[in-house]
Amino acid sequence: MRRLLLGSIAPVLFLGVWEMASRTGLLTLESLSRPSDIFIAWYHALLDGSLLIATYQTFEAALLGLAFAAVIGILCGTVLGLLPLVERITGPTIEALRPIPAIAFMPLALMMFGFGVTLEASIVAYACVWPILIVTVAAVRAIEPRLLDVADVLEMPFWKQMWTIILPAAFARINVGLRVAAAISLVVAVTVEIVLNPRGLGYRLTLASQELKIGLMYAQLVWLCVVGYLLNAVLRNVGTGSITLWGSAR
């Protein structure tokens, strides 16, 4: 309660001063709009569906890229985790590729895929694959070796081992990497849209600013905050145990 009260002081004060300043003419900067106009712009964008469509487009690309990254990351991570020698050999190459900002591949991806959801998803996938890969390697390496011995004794094929032993045993940790990647996926998707891809929330934001629809621009910015906040809240709760696909998510 105290947190709620104290916590709302800053935003309320900020918005209040902003609104008052622009109403009394103290603040005439046209790039600032005013909170009430922003709210009205948001309301209209919500009613005509453009905001929701853009949100869908952004999430579509983010999830597609994330799913791709999860498959690649978990698969490669498992192999590298099970075979330390391979990990040692490929390690430096991975370390050299990892620090390249995913965004830097945008021009390349544009040449390959043209504008659209594939371009965006490919960049998201590149950005998301690293945290998943690294966490998976660590998670697989932490699996009790006797569990894997059991699998060998039972002469399980690799796919069966993967599904019945490796993933369940490592999932709780991999889950952490997936949550980090999910947060990254939204950020990267929006960034690609802002820089070049003409779709989704990021593009709408740029468009609004270029057309000098300042109220709409801020409305979309706040909307992004809300969406991101909700995504993080969902991810936090998913992480604390509601995913029990294998009943072993500690």
Partner 1 sequence: MKQFALARLAPLAFALTLIGLWQLLADLNLISPIFFPSPARAFAVLEYRLADGSLWGSLAGTSLRMVFGWLLASIAGVILGAAIGSSRLTRDLLDPTLEFIRPLPASAVIPVAILFLGLSNAMSLTVIAFGAIWPVLLASVHGFSTVQHELSDVSNVLGFGRRQFLQKIALPSALPDIIAGLRVSLAIALILTVVTEMQSSLPGLGWDIFFAQRSYRSADLYAGLILLAALGFTANHLILLLERRALRWRTLRT
Binding residues for partner 1, how many (CB under 8 A)? 58
106 binds partner 1 (CB under 8 A): yes
Name which of 122 and 161 has its Cβ closer to partner 1. 122
Of the residues 16, 84, 101, 116, which one makes contact with partner 1 according to CB under 8 A: 101
Tokens coding 209? 């600013």
Which amino acid is present at 152? Answer: D
According to CB under 8 A, which residues from 138 to 177 bind partner 1? none
Each residue 28-57 as x (binds partner 1 by CB under 8 A) or -, in order, gives ---x--------------------------
Percent of the chain as helix, strand, coil, to the nearest 5:
80, 0, 20
- Taking CB under 8 A as the binding criterion, the range among 20-28, 36-44, 73-81, 103-111 that sits at the site for partner 1 is 103-111
- Chain centroid, CA 180 distance in Å: 7
- Taking CB under 8 A as the binding criterion, the range among 44-52, 101-109, 154-162, 237-245 that sits at the site for partner 1 is 101-109
- Taking CB under 8 A as the binding criterion, the range among 63-71, 139-147, 167-175, 198-206 that sits at the site for partner 1 is 198-206
Nearest to 77 by CA among 131, 29, 37, 133: 133
71 binds partner 1 (CB under 8 A): no
Tokens coding 2? 């105290």
238 binds partner 1 (CB under 8 A): no
Q: How far is the CB of 248 from partner 1 (least distance, A)?
A: 28
Name which of 129 and 224 has its Cβ closer to partner 1. 224
